[in-house]
Amino acid sequence: MSNSSLADHSAPDVPARHDLHYQVWPKRLPHSITPPATSLWHNLAVSALRFPDKPALVFFNRVLSYADVMQQAERLAATLCRLGVKKGDRVVLNMQNCPQWVIAHFAILRANAVVVPVNPMNRAEELKHYITDPDARVAITAADLAPELAKANAQLAPQERLTHLIVTHYSDAFDVSQPGDGSGAMPEAWRDWLGTRHALPALDGGTVMNWAEALENGAADSADLPAHTATPQDLAVLPYTSGTTGLPKGCMHTHASIMHNAVASGLWGNSTFENVVLSVVPMFHITGMVSVMHAVIYGGATLVIMPRWDRELAGHLISHWRVTHWTNIPTMVIDLLGSPNFAKFDLSSLVYIGGGGAAMPQAVAQRLWEQYGLRFAEGYGLTETAAPSHSNPPDATKQQCLGVPFISTDARVIDPLTLEEMPQGEQGEIIMSGPEIFQGYWKQPEATAAAFIEIDGKRFFRSGDLGRVDEEGYFFITDRLKRMINASGFKVWPAEVEVLMFRHPAIQEACIISTRDAYRGETVKAVVVLRPEARGKTTEDDIISWCKEHMAAYKYPRVVQFVDALPKSGAGKVMWRALQEAEAAKTKAA
């Protein structure tokens, strides 16, 4: 065997000036890995072979073993094939976190097809794009969301429409008549939402089938299920990203790109077969799909599923199921720690906690460390990078930063205009190259070409995020390239202002956007959520005065608007673009 075929603990083709982070790299881990040269379907098949009776999915009072999940996935795959799904076809998957999401995801892969995960918050007008752009003809959805999908379908031209719709009720995966043992029972407010049996909608020009019928039909057809022929190079998932302009773009991920980060995520988080993982980050989102769901199935661990966030339920599930790993949005941790019932929860089983989407406040991170010995491991990634391209080593976390380039990843900082590499410590655009990077945007060759550059003979993805690298190789994000505010020629980076405003004792959340100014051209506006105890006692002028005192003159907000809540995506990220667009529309109307 040649040396080149051995596992390499050094990152190949990374110039010495980019290996600063190896001084903090976990000694237990190689710098790069060779993932399995198989499709993602094989991960479920192998885990079901090794651990047939082991709990794979937990959903309220129901536990599905690996054998159960694989059997249902194969039956649904047989039905998909009978409905005409062929290799490479795109199938829409639209529902909240639930066992059916996992089963449907793997059924689509087993049918050699491509998963198109959709945000369940989307309405009919938005859903039309997710049918027409990927040329989907089959969709799998939840009963409460089916009417919107049917409505979207009815508004399309006949040749663009779905031909088949498979609909599940959330209660197909648990017994609504059994409240459970109290430790994992659903919130009472969710009982109607999850337990109601909805009438199935009609599908213009197509058929509608319920979940039980799809599995039953598939059982009869499973003997004739076509061979699984998908390879690592075949398209596996087509998640959509909104970007900065136009309609959402599909990100083409192969089995290989998703496989890499599924395997690497498990290694990074000290995973074993005995992991119990809380799944609350939405599975339609790249992090919930890859770093949580796929990593768990690959590792033969157990996934405890929450359909959406509820701090009391999360506390109960962690306590009862002895959850060991929890990937989340920092706002979830803040909310859980603020529960009046927090003292009743037992978080002692947790050995890993981390996430991204926002910086973890210093005070909260410190509390996790002092009270539980847990270091919150922040990470960073995009839909285009199959979740993490950077992450804090659990062994050497640094607060409020992206971490270091992930396993097998070469990341750098360049001048966004000249494309020259920036010196260590100076701000520029973050770029990355690695096996987890997507192939390009679906049917968007020009956008794909604009998203990549070549350096040192390697293809790098341009993230559009601005950041810097410190003396130890940790990356820090400074802002989105498109968010820069030009105030009288001074460049204002909103993220920096937001971090400073978080220190104000009356501010719970803040989002910085630009607004028009007759003198400065653009000026800084803060959209602020006050803490409950500060409402009615703190004025807009109080905030402006404090900011003026704590920030450079060109940087502090000239305008403050109080709101009850900031708009957030299904993944928990603040939707700053929505606020910016609303401000621009208001200014134009004036």
pLDDT tens across 79-115, in order? Answer: 999 999 999 999 999 999 999 999 999 999 999 999 9
Return all residues near 389 (Cβ < 8 A) that are at least 6 apart: 380, 381, 382, 405, 406, 409, 411, 432, 434, 436, 437, 463
Q: What is the mean pLDDT of residues 2-19?
A: 52
Q: What is the mean pLDDT of residues 266-292?
A: 95
Range list of H helices, 228-272: 255-268
Residue 397 has pLDDT above 80, yes or no: yes
Per-domain residue ranges for the chain? 484-589
170/362: higher pLDDT: 170
Residue 179 has pLDDT above 60, yes or no: no
Q: What is the mean pLDDT of residues 312-337?
A: 93
Q: What is the mean pLDDT of residues 216-231?
A: 87
Residue 366 has pLDDT above 50, yes or no: yes
What's the pLDDT band for 291 if we cut at 50, 70, 90? very high
Reported as a single tens digit per residue, the pLDDT across 411-437 is 999 999 899 999 999 999 999 999 999
pLDDT value for 371: 87
% pLDDT > 90, the chain: 70
Q: What is the DSSP letter of 360?
A: P
Q: What is the mean pLDDT of residues 383-392?
A: 96
In whole angstroms, give the CA distance from residue 386 to residue 56.
23
In whole angstroms, give the CA distance from residue 81 to residue 483.
45
Residue 244 has pLDDT above 60, yes or no: no
287 to 283, 327, 384, 410, 571: CA distances (angstroms): 7, 9, 11, 20, 9
pLDDT value for 223: 73
Q: Scanning the structure block, which residue is given the tokens 């979940």? A: 211
Residue (of 268, 520, 539) closest to 405 by Cα position: 268
Return all residues near 303 (Cβ < 8 A) that are at least 6 apart: 56, 57, 58, 102, 277, 279, 292, 293, 296, 297
> Residue 90, exposed/middle/buried by CB under 10 A (0-12, 13-18, 19+)?
buried
- Record the pTM: 0.83
Reported as a single tens digit per residue, the pLDDT across 520-529 is 678 999 999 9
Residue 483 has pLDDT above 80, yes or no: no
Residue 31 has pLDDT above 60, yes or no: yes
pLDDT value for 16: 58
pLDDT value for 2: 37
Average pLDDT, the chain: 90
pLDDT value for 10: 53
pLDDT value for 254: 98
Q: What is the DSSP letter of 18?
A: G
pLDDT value for 482: 66
In whole angstroms, give the CA distance from residue 460 to residue 115.
25
Q: What is the mean pLDDT of residues 319-338?
A: 92
219/403: higher pLDDT: 403
Question: Which residue type does 354 have?
Answer: G
Q: What is the mean pLDDT of residues 256-283?
A: 96
| Homologous superfamily of the 484-589 domain (CATH) | ANL, C-terminal domain (3.30.300.30)
Instruction: Give the least confident one: 34-43, 246-255, 442-451.
Output: 246-255
Q: What is the mean pLDDT of residues 260-271?
A: 95
Residue (of 124, 98, 118, 103) closest to 195 by Cα position: 98
